[in-house]
Homo-oligomer: A and B are copies of this chain.
Amino acid sequence: MLQNSVSKSLYKRLPIYLDYCLDLKEKENAMYVSSKRIADDLYLGEVQVRKDLASVCTSGRPKIGYKLDILIDGITKYINCHILKKAVLVGAGKLGKALLGFDEIRKYGLEITAAFDVNDMEEECNIPIYQFNDQNIESVMNKKKIDVAILCVPKNVAQSVCNKLIDKGIKVFWNFAPIRLNVPNDIIIQNENLAYSASLISSLIK
């Protein structure tokens, strides 16, 4: 297979397929599933499903369909969620704390190991919350390899917090602060701007 262009739309659909397959396996004890069935159940095109699945595995057989186990394994590996990656969360306000309790991300390969805030706080959901300072950041990062930072800090400090974390070696950010961060080319930012989503909602209401 000679696919390698990293299509973001494919990556957005893969967890949907994964959920669906896991569900199907659990609820119906099914062994196989056809692209037609997936397409119908998920309101997608049949061809699109086949094309997507072809990117992640080769278990499809005419008249039979795709073997669920192979499909699940293929998607899991493709989106890299079989390896648990460690995250730190910065900014334990309401949203931050909500994310600390958001166990579902574990299923997709993320685990929050520590949080930071302006001051020490009581732990939340068994995750310790430290003061955001060099010593504490280094201490956390030395103990475990940290792959990603989740930013839930106020807008006005987001850039400086981000800079500091880049200094400490963080390369990937999941950014909930409603601001566009300015970073070097090798740094990856995934923005989750809920205010902008609100704007989208707003435009849908007439």
User: Which A residues fall within an 8 A CB radius of B?
Assistant: 2-4, 8, 11-12, 14-16, 18-19, 42-43, 78-81, 85, 93-95, 97-99, 101-102, 104-105, 107-110, 147-148, 172, 174, 178, 180, 188, 190, 192, 194-206
A199 adjacent to B108 (CB under 8 Å):
yes
Cα distance, A192 to B42, chains bound together (Å): 17
A104: nearest chain-B partner, CB-CB: B195
Are B190 and A201 closer than 8 Å at their CB atoms? yes
Residue numbers in B under 8 Å from A15 (CB-CB): 195-196, 199
**Assembly CA distance A203 to B79 (angstroms):** 5
Contacts of A2 in B (CB 8 A): 204, 206
Most chain B CB atoms below 10 A, which of A11, A43, A95, A196: A196
| Whole-angstrom CA separation of A18 from B200 in the bound complex | 13
Within the complex, which residue of B8, B16, B94, B178 is in contact with A98, where a contact is CB–CB below 8 Å? B94
Complex Cα distance, B104 from A201, in Å, reads 14
Tell me which of B81, B147, B192, B197 contacts A199 (CB under 8 A). B81
A190 nearest CB neighbor, chain B only:
B201
Residues of B within 8 A of A172 (CB): 201, 204-205
- Quick check: A180 and B16 within 8 Å, CB to CB? yes
Known contacts A3-B206, A174-B201: does B148 contact A102 (CB below 8 Å)?
no
When C-beta atoms are compared, the residue in chain B nearest to A189 turns out to be: B204
B-side contacts of A188, CB under 8 Å: 204
A-B contact pairs, 6 of them (CB 8 A): A2-B204, A12-B200, A15-B195, A81-B202, A109-B202, A172-B204
Instruction: Give Cα A84–Cα B75 distance, bound, in whole angstroms.
Output: 42
